[in-house]
Amino acid sequence: MDMLKISHISKKFAEKQVLQDVDFTVPEHAVYGFVGQNGAGKTTTMKLALGLLPADQGEIFVNGQKVSFGENPANRYIGYLPDVPEFYPYMTASEYLHFCGAVTGMDDRECKNRTEELLGLVGLSKERHRIKGFSRGMKQRLGIAQAMFNRPRLLICDEPTSALDPVGRKEILDILASAGEQTTVLFSTHILSDVERICDQFAFLHEGRIIRQGSMEEMKKSCKEAGFEVELEREQDVRRLLQRFPGGTPKGRVDVSYGQGAGLKMEEVMAWMAQEKILIRKIEKTGLSLESLFLEVVGK
């Protein structure tokens, strides 16, 4: 079953065409990456799915229910984390989540149990400070807990790892991967390695259009052969290698990388190095990264 279906959506602001015939589906219990550069239209797409903006054309369905602008009944299936979540700074994380549950009519016992469960999931169960003292990463974690409080069928996160340091990004990605066991996750990002790490499927949005979508395996099959990297024992052999096979990129004193555009076969390089008695520490093919795929499809 598709938890989210975005069908041929278009949206214009004044004279600017922000989205043009955007069409993709997010299967139930998938962790789905919505990839695009800043300004590509990711946030607009998410606001349309939440019923916060009217679409000029097309339809959106969440759990089989049509999304409508304004009063949107489909929102009862959705938890939402904006790119910069806001909280009452004088509350603790526990008080804030309990407040969120009370607002929705949840009884005290259920609020308490759900608060403890989610604070444990996001790693804030031992945090007693007021939210005003939270770091950006802690606020993102609390925002995920709040978005999941009412057990949504679909969790939408807008740039959840932007502006975080590597440790904070890892923590948020681990939480989203865990959340995928309970719900369907759609998150937007321009950080391609984040998507590569935890997503089952993804879509590339470029200048308001979906230019490629699918699983990583499907995309690898449709792209060119990957390159390879060589690590040698002696620095002087790097110069000999680059003289014999131009097009490589030095990555260190004894490392050379040949990209997929170099037009070389790894076996040819290996045969030459064996003939020349060049000592090798390591030689291996480099897997296609999401970054190389994205650059290929946008023509850069």
- Residues 37-85: tens digit of each pLDDT: 888 999 999 999 999 999 999 999 999 999 999 888 999 999 999 988 9
DSSP character string of 27-66: ETT-EEEEEE-TTSSHHHHHHHHTTSS--SEEEEEETTEE
Q: Which residues pair with 33 in a beta bridge?
A: 187, 202
The answer, as to whether pTM is greater than 0.75, is yes
Residue 101 · residue 154 · CB < 8 Å? no
CA 13 to chain centre: 26
Identify the CA nearest to 147 among candidates 87, 72, 64, 189.
Answer: 87
Strand partners of residue 130: 92
Alpha helices in 50-165 (DSSP H): 93-103, 108-121, 136-147
Cβ atoms of 105 and 99 closer than 8 Å:
no
Q: Which of 208, 198, 153 is nearest to 27 (CA)?
A: 153
Whole-number percent of the chain with pLDDT over 90: 60
The predicted-structure confidence for 76-115, as pLDDT tens digits, reads as follows 999 999 988 999 999 999 999 999 999 888 999 999 999 9
CA distance 81 to 141: 10
Residues 6+ apart with CB under 8 A from 239: none
Are β-strands 154-158 and 78-81 bridged in parallel, bridged antiparallel, or unpaired? parallel
Residue type at position 4: L
Enumerate residues 6+ apart whose C-beta is below 8 A from 220.
288, 293
Task: Over range 27-32, report the average pLDDT.
Answer: 93
288 pLDDT more than 70: no
- How are strands ordered across the β-sheet holding 184-189? 78-81, 154-158, 184-189, 31-36, 201-206, 209-214
Lowest mean pLDDT segment, chosen from 94-98, 128-132, 174-178, 289-293 = 289-293
pLDDT the model gives residue 223: 57
**How high does pLDDT run on average in the chain?**
89
At residue 224, the pLDDT reads: 55
| Interval 14-18 mean pLDDT | 93
